[in-house]
Amino acid sequence: MEFSQTRVLVTGASSGIGRATAVRLAKEREITLILSGRDEARLRETWTLCGERAEDVLWPRELDNAWAAGEALQEFLQARQLSVQAFVHCAGMAPLLPLRLADAETAHRIMEVNFFSAAALLETLISRHVNRKELTRVVLISSVQSQIGAKGQGFYCASKAALEGFLRAMAEELGPRVRVNAIRPGAVPSRMADELTARADLLTKDVAEGYTLGLGMPEDIASMVAFLLSEEARWITGQCFTVDGGRMAH
């Protein structure tokens, strides 16, 4: 793939799709990374998997207070005199939360991490004062759950549906300078998938009954991220691409 010189901020880089995305992008010599996640030790594991490249930097950060995270990103970039050309938002949480057991704190936290943090970080990255109008590409990680209902996942589904509505508006608002797209993954092994399904046998049953190509891997999503960040996708914006092994074909 063809890439221009690019620094990419990857959230959720400590595991799952975020980690796979970081490792995939590290293969491109034109790309340097800002790796963000809530667990610094796991972020360092990702950095090691990326080859311990000196040009990559870590930004350990919890995103459950979205607007505070946006301010913290501003401080981080300015302190290190960094600019960001691409933003990949993989951070997310997916606890089982049936409506009858819902509490305001958990519901708000799901929306903060999965949706509002994407908006808050993007607000910082489009700031001329902070990022000098250098952002040109955004990829948001959604989920097939934005389209398929599931018991106990109402707030998670809602957060991903919000993310998809947001991407279409941002593609219009930020174009033509910034391309904004999303990926709607099916089930792939990750810590979040474990939280989402709660029991491994539920995931196995879902795959057996619903996925034509079987269970995917985080690397399958990372490959699509790499394509959308590349110059080969220069005429694509406002789109949400389903990568789900055939799940949505049923």
CA distances from 167 to 8, 67, 86, 208 (A): 18, 18, 15, 32
Which residues have a catalytic role annotated?
Answer: 156
Give yes or no for a contact between 106 and 95, defined as CB atoms under 8 angstroms apart: yes
Kindly report the backbone phi and psi dihedral angles of residue 215, in degrees, each rounded to the nearest multiple of 5, phi listed first. -70, 130
Q: What ranges make up the beta strands (E) of 86-212?
A: 86-89, 137-141, 179-185
What is the end-to-end Cα distance of the chain in Å, rounded? 32
In the numeric block, which tokens belong to residue 186? Answer: 């099916």
Cα 24 to Cα 189: distance, rounded to the nearest angstrom: 17
